[in-house]
Homo-oligomer: A and B are copies of this chain.
Amino acid sequence: MSFISRRLASTSTFTMKPTPSKAHHHTPLPSSSFPTGFVLGGIHAGVKKKAGVPDLAVILSTSEKPTSAAACFTRNAFKAAPVLVSNQIIAKNGGYARAVVVNSGCANAVTGKQGMDDAWAMVKATDALLPSKSKKFDNETLVMSTGVIGQNLPISKIITGIESQALEKKDTSVLGSDFKAWESAAKAFMTTDTFPKLRSRTFTIGDQEYRMAGMDKGAGMIHPDMGPASTSFSSAPKQLHATLLGCIMTDAAVSPRSLQSALTYAVDRSFNSISVDGDMSTNDSIYVLANGAASKDGLVIDEESNKDAYEVFKKELTDFAADLAKLVVRDGEGATKFVTVTVKNAPSYKDAHSIASRISTSALVKTALYGEDANWGRILAATGSVPLLPSAATGVAPVIDPAKVNVTFVPSDGTSPLPVLVHGEPEKVDEVRAKEILQLEDFEVLVDMGMEGEGEAQYWTCDFSYEYVSINGDYRS
């Protein structure tokens, strides 16, 4: 009896491709590009074992104007304590908060009553750092944690760390507003990230210039699905969860309602459109603070009272969120490729988004990307496995016509795209050319469904490598 001998082999070794350095994705930014009216910084409080590694960030709005706050949280049923506490604060305050406190190294998830107490303790200690003359609410701090699940925070170390950041404690406080301050805060977000993720931009509404800056972190358990905070003006108490944390600050003035609606829109098209491994976390949170410090003309951006300004702001926020989200994919655990998956001419945006998501999470597609193999068959199988939504008009789901589907690989270097499936027929693929494209660090997979409706969506994903298995096969030890 002859069996294929593959599985009978004893210990083998696999050689990993050299993974490219990602260091160039973090570079100094001009201090003039950071929003005014914020001070922040990151320190080593002792959550992480290794001395000197930042694990606690404090972000304070020093603006005397009201600081609006909005959030999107994981939809996971097992929401971590910081998610629950932050949602309560935003809801109670009607969309206002002036501070954010973040720790890495421990997620404070599945930690029961102690976890809730610890999250509240972080909030209260940070509240005490805020200028008291602008105090309007009992609690004005949002909290985030990331790291191992099921362990309690070393809370006394964290509280000591927060207290050391009081602005008057000039010997211990690192809070500032220059690049170094922003960078140290971004570093305190990191877990298995290999570089801090910090971006800034300026934008103009009317004659007024504003700034937006922020940081995020990711690496693993990255497949966010986040919904808006449950404030009085959001219809349902939806929440999201993942080990994706992000925080965006702007010196524009935005009404709480419009800040939340702009963030919800932006998150769907950025953080909810990325995948590293298809796993949704219990801690995923994106916060945005708008402190109005640059709003000299008194403009408060609002969807109803000044729609044009709102649309500009929403677009800036969406583009900025996408920039931050892409950094997470680029630095995904074990990632050697950054791949944009575009689906167009689907019946709706939601259908296009579902198909792009399925392609982006397929283990077979992702191992083929790692293997630099133009395996369009796997892309097509993933595409076809998504049930399309029933049409609102007929109640019947539209049917994909295989004879109208096109799949194209688009290189990032400006050279010609390579069609691999045209109108449902496989092309005679030039394998040398395919290899040239797939050896790039960045490229795009374009799937044209050829259907009515013009639904289009983009997703950003990475490949599945030996290193991913290595990182996650032995994470706790």
Which residues of A are in contact with B by a Cβ distance under 8 Å?
1, 3-4, 6-23, 26, 75-79, 109-110, 112, 148-151, 190, 192-195, 220-221, 225, 241, 277-282, 331, 361-364, 367-368, 370-371, 373, 375-378, 380-387, 399-400, 402-403, 421, 424-426, 464-470, 472-477
Contact = CB atoms under 8 A, between A and B. Distances in A.
B11 A149 contact: no
A421 B110 contact: yes
A7 B3 CA distance: 39
A225 to B, nearest CB: 7
A277 to B, nearest CB: 4
Contacts of A190: 4
A224 B429 CA distance: 29
A15 B13 contact: yes
5 contacts: A4-B194, A8-B23, A77-B386, A109-B377, A282-B380
Contacts of A475: 368, 371, 373, 375
A381 B469 contact: no
A8 B76 CA distance: 33
Q: How many monomers of this chain does the complex have?
A: 2
B3 A376 contact: no
B473 A367 contact: yes
A476 B371 CA distance: 10
A402 B472 contact: no
A382 to B, nearest CB: 7
B150 A376 contact: yes
A256 B446 CA distance: 44
B6 A77 contact: no
A9 B23 CA distance: 12
Which 9 A-B residue pairs are closest in the complex by CB-CB distance? A149-B377, A371-B473, A77-B384, A367-B472, A78-B384, A280-B385, A77-B400, A76-B384, A7-B194
A371 B477 CA distance: 10
B363 A279 contact: yes
Nearest to A282: B381
Contacts of A373: 473-477
A3 B194 contact: yes
Given A18-B10, A384-B77, A195 B3 contact: yes
Contacts of A109: 377
Contacts of A75: 385, 387
Contacts of A476: 373, 375
B3 A11 contact: no
